[in-house]
Amino acid sequence: MPTAVSGKPDELALAAFTLFSSRGIASVNMDAIAAGAGVTKGSLYWHFSSKQEVVLAACGVYYARWRDDIGAAIAAASGPYDQLAAAVGYSVRACLLDDANRVFTTEIVALSLYNAEVRTSWAGFLDETERLFLGLTHRAVGAGELVCDDVDRAVDLTLAAMEGIKQTALFRPQLCAPDSEQRILRRLLSLLGERPEVPPAD
């Protein structure tokens, strides 16, 4: 039995995101979205004129959730390096280990190959992600808590590695098994730089 919503655009987008994440974008039509949201198809079309608009709205749901959750993870950490590690840790859990998010984002990347509007939307999100990690990494380096000669390159490699793990997990799901979190986290953090050696106490 679908959970009834009031028919507000953000609630409809959330219902669509949930369906896309579990069943895939291509297999979910407007009828299924309306049924999943507990509204009439007419109510859905009142807010969204096409499935394309719903897909973009579902992307908005994903982006907003990412901003809120990664912001909370960073705020809970103390010190620049710990904040960077918290952001990477959140990314591993949310982008790689969370099956629903991994399905949705993988499909969005595939859709971006031939859909310019979706590609533009996702590119904007990637730019935002890159700016966040650049800022966190620069702060950790500036505070002397991380050694990195080329922050731009390190962040590029780290984000590319995350995308690579996500894509490879389609064929090797064990890469994103729950018990792989710490291993992935250590490897990604090593791409960002090294912790400075602490001289032994006298």
Instruction: Note whether residue 89 is domain-resident.
Output: yes
Polymer length in residues for the chain: 202
CATH of the domain at 115: 1.10.357.10
CA 55 to chain centre: 16
Instruction: Scan for tokens 């407007």, then name that residue.
Output: 30
Instruction: Note whether residue 173 is domain-resident.
Output: yes
Instruction: Note whether residue 183 is domain-resident.
Output: yes
Helix extents (H) in 30-115: 30-37, 41-47, 51-75, 80-91, 99-112
- Helical axes 99-112 vs 9-23, angle rounded to 10°: 90
The H or E element spanning position 181 is helix 181-192
Whether 139 contacts 83, CB under 8 Å: yes
> Tell me: the pLDDT tens digits for 140-185?
999 999 999 999 999 999 999 999 999 999 899 899 988 999 999 9
Instruction: Note whether residue 169 is domain-resident.
Output: yes
Instruction: Note whether residue 40 is domain-resident.
Output: no
Mean pLDDT of 83-111: 95
Instruction: Note whether residue 70 is domain-resident.
Output: yes
**Cα angle: 19, vertex 21, 22; to 5 degrees:** 70
The boundaries of the domain holding residue 184 are: 62-192
pLDDT at residue 4, as a whole number: 41
> Tell me: the pLDDT tens digits for 43-56?
899 999 999 999 99
Into how many domains does the chain fold?
1
Instruction: Note whether residue 24 is domain-resident.
Output: no
φ, ψ for residue 48, nearest 5 deg:
-130, 125
pLDDT at residue 8, as a whole number: 86
Token digits of residue 80? 């620049």
Mean pLDDT of 108-129: 96
pLDDT at 199 over 70: no
Instruction: Note whether residue 44 is domain-resident.
Output: no
Instruction: Scan for tokens 């400075």, then name that residue.
Output: 196
**Cα angle: 160, vertex 90, 123; to 5 degrees:** 40
pLDDT at 118 over 60: yes
Computed over every residue of the chain, the mean pLDDT equals 92
Specify burial of residue 196 (Cβ count, 10 A radius: 0-12, 13-18, 19+).
exposed
